[in-house]
Amino acid sequence: MDISNKLSRISSDLLGHYHEVAENGNSAAYPNVDQIVNTILLIRKAIFPSYFNEALESKPPEIWLQSLLADIHQSLSREIKTALLKQNDGGKAPRPASEISLKLLEQLVSIQQLLHKDAKAGFEGDPAAKGIDEVILTYPGFFAIFAYRVAHFLFLEDVHFIPRMMSEYAHRVTGIDIHPGAEIGEYFFIDHGTGVVIGETAVIGNHVKLYQGVTLGALSTKSGQKLAGIRRHPTIEDHVTIYSGATILGGETVIGKNSTIGGNVFITKSVPHNTTVKGT
């Protein structure tokens, strides 16, 4: 058998097996990961125009930014439409993708304000930082938070695939895994960050600081899809600091306000307000 015939046979086998095991047999395409990555980087330029745009000074800012927003709207609308068609099993999308995309753009000012608070928390919480601009430009924790805040909006709009594509891109480049479904308050800071995991149903209050290797996770998930939609991850109340390597698990676990969780501890029960937890 020559190579051409062998490749033809392998191709047929692969496609046949794929159609047997694929969960969704409809022909609707999936959103394009590369386009989503490009879009999240364009959104970062729109939110922080003076930090990530070398050509900004060549055009009036209003004209440049309006053109950028138009590009984001067009690209994101296309990908959202694809996601909605896939969700609807290839039928007509239940909502206009253009409206969702425009709604996100309208929220960018609010997201920008949240991110400025996060950057301020990063600067004030790290004596090694030389300024807020250094946090915005270089801190992996800040980039992960930025991607999360954009993805979280689309998650709340019930757009499938795209929020996870955004958050997983940030995970890939920073080592920080924040599920877009998590609820995170103001002035949030992740120092260093590598290995941080924040689960889908985690709730984090205001002025919370995490160090590297922190896990806000679920207890055993061996029941799999039966746990979908159930609170599985902990609540972290305001003004809590969690040091490196700490693991906090369970949907009923609450870390009370003004508490400090030491490094490498394992917590599955609630902690009262104003408590310091240390490893033994």
pLDDT per residue as tens digits for the range 135-181: 999 999 999 999 999 999 999 999 999 999 999 999 999 999 999 99
Q: Would you say 151 and 171 are in contact if contact means Cβ atoms under 8 Å apart? A: no
Q: pLDDT value at position 64?
A: 86
- Rounded-to-integer distance, Cα 103 and Cα 154, Å: 10
AA letter at 192? H
Q: Could you report the per-residue pLDDT of 223-279, keeping only the tens digit for each?
A: 655 556 678 999 999 999 999 999 999 999 999 999 999 999 999 999 999 999 998
In the numeric block, the tokens 């609450």 are attached to: 254
pLDDT tens digit string along 9-57? 888 888 776 666 565 555 568 999 999 999 999 999 999 988 887 655 6
Question: What digits encode the pLDDT tens for the residues 81-138?
Answer: 999 988 886 666 678 999 999 999 999 999 999 999 999 999 999 999 999 999 999 9
| Confidence (pLDDT) at 221 | 62
Pairing of strands 177-178, 197-198: parallel
- Predicted confidence at residue 10, as pLDDT, reads 85
The helix or strand, by DSSP H or E, that contains position 46, with its residue range, turns out to be helix 33-47
This prediction has a pTM of 0.90
Dump the DSSP string for 65-116: HHHHHHHHHHHHHHHHHHHHHHHTTTS--SS-HHHHHHHHHHHHHHHHHHHH
- Residue type, position 195, single letter: G
Mean pLDDT to the nearest integer, 208-234:
82
